[in-house]
């Protein structure tokens, strides 16, 4: 019984397969026919059109992302890593005024000023310095001097008639430290700062500076006037000193001498 049913089912399956294979196939387009050629052309044109439309769209998106407005709103693309590591540019340096005569409001004196510069062969700065020195240091002369070996050189504005102090304190007596005192603003070290060394003792207020090459003290900072300089007159160049008046100062009793003296403590003031 079972065998007859299996045989019948197998016969039915065989009939269905044969019917399926005998059914006509669906017609396919032949590429060689005109209609098939037109279909292929329309398909390729549609693809090209879609690509052309997609390209401007992507270009617009790229421009929109890189626009300044998008960057301000934080929508722009991040900078490359090598640019992100660079420091921000420095702020612009403000322009500084020059010292040439063209920047000065000289008015009717411009021609005189330029003639003076040419005659004296000076720059604007040099001419201004000469006039200021003549006006501010009226009645003074410019002395120059230095140590024995020439490593230390200075200039100082002072009277041509010098008032010299001859101190007899322990150190001034040994080194014969006769000197005249000027404000610091009237003294200028021209060269030799690297050749100067300093000795101090006791209160360490006095700065005994001297050339470490030749040992000569041509100037120093006195205890009586720490805001000025004591200049050795015998270290000045010749030709600018007219006269010298020497006053003895009892530096061995320094506190008493300072109280009794009326003017020495003010000699470094302008």
Cα within 13 Å of Cα(263), Cβ side: 7
Q: Given pLDDT bands bounded at 50, 70 and 90, which one contains residue 44?
A: low
* CA–CA dist 5, 17 (Å, integer): 19
Q: Classify residue 223 as exposed, middle or buried by CB count within 10 Å of its CB (0-12, 13-18, 19+).
A: buried
The residues facing 209 across adjacent strands are 198
Rounded to the nearest 10 degrees, the angle between the axes of helix 110-120 and helix 124-136 is 100
Given a contact cutoff of 8 angstroms between Cβ atoms, the answer to whether 247 and 233 are in contact is no
pLDDT at site 89:
63
pLDDT at site 82:
52
* CA–CA dist 214, 220 (Å, integer): 16
Q: Given pLDDT bands bounded at 50, 70 and 90, which one contains residue 267?
A: confident
The class that CATH gives domain 140-266 is: mainly beta
Domain boundaries, the chain: 140-266
Given a contact cutoff of 8 angstroms between Cβ atoms, the answer to whether 189 and 230 are in contact is no
pTM for the predicted model, two decimal places = 0.55
DSSP state of 207: B
Q: What is the pLDDT of residues 183-236, one digit of tens each?
A: 999 999 999 999 999 999 988 988 999 999 999 999 999 999 999 999 999 999
Residue closest to 248 by CA, chosen among 260, 240, 237: 260
Residue 240, pLDDT > 90, answer: yes
> Measured in whole angstroms, how far is the alpha carbon of residue 263 from the centre of its chain?
45
Write down the mean pLDDT value for the chain: 76
């Amino acid at each position: 019984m079972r065998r007859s049913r299996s045989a019948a089912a197998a016969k039915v399956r065989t009939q269905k397969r044969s019917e399926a294979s005998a059914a006509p196939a669906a017609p396919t387009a032949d590429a060689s026919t005109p209609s098939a050629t037109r279909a292929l052309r329309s398909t390729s044109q549609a693809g090209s059109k879609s690509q052309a439309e997609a390209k401007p769209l992507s270009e617009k998106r790229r421009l929109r992302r890189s626009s300044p407005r998008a960057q301000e709103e934080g929508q722009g693309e991040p900078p490359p890593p090598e640019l992100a590591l660079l420091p921000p540019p420095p702020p612009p340096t403000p322009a500084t005024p020059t010292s040439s005569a063209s920047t000065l409001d000289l008015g009717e004196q411009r021609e005189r000023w330029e003639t003076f510069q040419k005659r004296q062969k000076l720059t604007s700065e040099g001419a201004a310095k000469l006039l200021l020195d003549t006006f501010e240091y009226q009645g003074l002369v410019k002395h120059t001097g230095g140590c024995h070996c020439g490593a230390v050189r200075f200039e100082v504005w002072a009277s041509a008639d010098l008032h010299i102090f001859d101190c007899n304190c322990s150190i001034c007596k040994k080194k014969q430290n006769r000197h005249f005192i000027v404000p610091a603003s009237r003294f200028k070290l021209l060269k030799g700062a690297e050749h100067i060394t300093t000795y101090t003792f006791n209160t360490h207020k006095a700065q005994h500076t001297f050339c470490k090459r030749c040992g000569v003290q041509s100037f120093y900072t006195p205890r009586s006037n720490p805001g000025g300089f004591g200049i050795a007159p015998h270290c000045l160049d010749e030709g600018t000193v007219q006269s010298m008046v020497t006053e003895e100062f009892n530096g061995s009793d320094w506190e008493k001498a300072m109280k009794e003296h009326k003017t020495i403590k003010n000699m470094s003031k302008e």
